Amino acid sequence: MFIRIFQSPFFDTKYHTLKKKLLLIVLVCSLSNLNAQDKNPMKFRIEPGFLINTDSENLSLLLNIEPNIEISKNSVIGLRFGLALNPQKFENIDESQFLITNLDDYGVISFIPTFDYYLNEKKYRPYIGLGLGYYLFIDDLDVINPNGSIEVLKGSTKNQIGFLLRGGLEIGKARCGLEYNLITKADIKLPNGQIIGTVNNSYLGLFIGFTIGGGKRSI
């Protein structure tokens, strides 16, 4: 499924910068994985999933990659690198003047320091977690005037700070849960500075993943 995603228009040459960022994420996390295999406290999580209740007609998926370390028997800190496809909800101020044409090829990359707390030390370990970090948006929206010129304008959005809240259950090396990413709305601006609407990239996701390294509970 994820192979198809990387072959979609979302990952064409128009998003060359995004590809570079994803490559950097994979490189950093691969180095973390090597450290985990040396029997140190470092763990490495991979969590694919999907988004719930989005406006997009395309696939709405997520992928989280997170190196982390235990600071106590019940507490874990980490750095989550996340990718969410098509979480967006656009709001135009006046659709009769400006119309966004590429509504279904959008994404958000996040870099979030995290904290998880496990409610027990048994095999079945429910947990809650939170984080605060930086969310990067694709800065390329096609905007047209449906009643005027056929010229395609470029709308831009600024990256935002956001809050992560998550919870779920860890069973041995497997992990599942829900996460909510609360991201402040961003204005959509034309090159002349005119604001034509907003985009809300907050999203709710369901994921199932696994952990590598870090002792007997992991691979």
In angstroms, the CA 210 to CA 217 distance is: 10
71 in a domain, yes or no?
yes
Are 116 and 91 in contact by the 8 Å Cβ rule? The answer is no
Q: How many domains does the chain have?
A: 1
pLDDT of residue 164 exceeding 90, the answer is yes
120 in a domain, yes or no?
yes
33 in a domain, yes or no?
yes
Read off the pLDDT of residues 88-103 as tens digits, 9 standing for 90 and up.
Answer: 888 887 777 777 777 6
Read off the pLDDT of residues 75-91 as tens digits, 9 standing for 90 and up.
Answer: 999 999 999 999 988 88
* CATH number, domain containing residue 99: 2.40.160.20
Burial class (CB in 10 A: 0-12, 13-18, 19+), 146: exposed
Model's pTM, two decimal places?
A: 0.77
219 in a domain, yes or no?
no
Handedness of CA 15, 18, 166, 37 (dihedral sign): positive
Mean pLDDT score, 109-135: 96
3-class SS of residue 217: coil
218 in a domain, yes or no?
no
217 in a domain, yes or no?
no
| Residues pairing with 96 in the sheet | none
In angstroms, the CA 201 to CA 78 distance is: 23
Domain that holds residue 94: 2-212
